Amino acid sequence: MWSERQGQLVEKLMDTLSPETAPHKSFVAFRYASPLTEEALEEMKKAGVKRAVALTLYPQYSCSTTGSSLNQLWRSLQTIDPKNEIKWSVIDRYPTHAKLIDAFARNIEKSLAGYSEADRKNVVLLFSAHSLPMSVVNRGDPYPAEVAATVHQVMNRLGNTNPYRLVWQSQVGPSQWLGPKTDQAIEGYAKQGVKHLLAIPIAFVSDHVETLFELDIEYGHLAKEKGIDFRRVESLNDNAIFIEALADLVNTHLKSHTSISTQLLLRCPSCSNATCGKTKSFFEGQKSMI
């Protein structure tokens, strides 16, 4: 599992970067698959953990991803650690971290090098991210802006060598979702005569069904049917520069002695989730304990 591998590599790097806080130990927690948040917390309690950092593996914050995970963490702590024996802080986003940007850019450069010199400059970069329902976007979720910020920084790092677009995948149900949809973009560019599309999963940091099946197989087959040479940039997975980014985030965070970012403290303008406020208050209250 890539998340476990990433955690193990960050552990080792952190032991070198911050010997004063070593030894470091990573625990993986998922919302809807094992190990669940509750299972991870039980393991942490058994291991005698007293200080923990909740590090999201979503570079860009959304209430539907990182926010939901932090809310579940807060709920689980009420029963598993009601006396707050583990002192917490949180790293909730890092959409423009320099090493994250560099890791994405280097992977793109590696893929572009696989095209002929004549074709390379005509390759359209298709940054694809998980979509959001428009009801969530209109509530004030920062995710679309943060994904766009990542894309902008990556393109600056690349020197804006190629044309590009940000598109959105994995929509479900009849409600309105953020667009344009990745598959519709492929069809649209085929009609415009585009011959080369390079897909970049810009909001995922490891391979899973949305890269290996949705992008590689479903969209790959669609593009082939439309006469497009469709390729995908490899995911970050255990990319050394990405691991350095995560370790740098944790190291800097620990030295800052902060428990929560100012951005996480701010709720969406139309937020109606009471748990959201309680979660933010919990992490804010940890500052005096760490």
Active-site residue flag, 97? yes
Name the segment(s) of the chain with CATH classification 3.40.50.1400: 2-95+240-289, 98-232
Please state whether the predicted TM-score (pTM) of the whole model is above 0.95. Answer: yes
Top CATH class, 2-95+240-289: alpha beta
Handedness of CA 253, 259, 262, 264 (dihedral sign): positive
Distance CA(37)–CA(29), nearest Å, equals: 5
Residue from 24, 97, 130, 253 carrying the catalytic annotation: 97
For 132, residues 6+ apart whose C-beta sits below 8 A from its C-beta are: 62, 64, 141, 143, 144, 168, 177, 178
**Per residue in 53-72, pLDDT tens?**
999 999 999 999 999 999 99
Top CATH class, 98-232: alpha beta
Q: Are 71 and 279 in contact (CB under 8 A)?
A: yes
pLDDT for 151: 99
Distance CA(234)–CA(242), nearest Å, equals: 13
One-character DSSP codes across 109-162:
HHHHTTS-HHHHTTPEEEEEEE--BHHHHHHT-SHHHHHHHHHHHHHHHHTS-S
Distance CA(18)–CA(197), nearest Å, equals: 42
Q: Are 87 and 77 in contact (CB under 8 A)?
A: no
The yes-or-no verdict on residue 23 having pLDDT over 90 is: yes
221-235: average pLDDT: 98
The yes-or-no verdict on residue 1 having pLDDT over 90 is: no
Q: What is the mean pLDDT of the chain?
A: 98
Active-site residue flag, 130? no
pLDDT for 48: 98
The yes-or-no verdict on residue 73 having pLDDT over 90 is: yes
**Per residue in 102-144, pLDDT tens?**
999 999 999 999 999 999 999 999 999 999 999 999 999 999 9
pLDDT for 233: 99
**Per residue in 30-54, pLDDT tens?**
999 999 999 999 999 999 999 999 9
Distance CA(249)–CA(260), nearest Å, equals: 13
pLDDT for 259: 98
**Per residue in 198-216, pLDDT tens?**
999 999 999 999 999 999 9
pLDDT for 212: 96
**Per residue in 241-278, pLDDT tens?**
999 999 999 999 999 999 999 999 999 999 999 999 99
Residue from 92, 102, 141, 248 carrying the catalytic annotation: 248
21-30: average pLDDT: 97
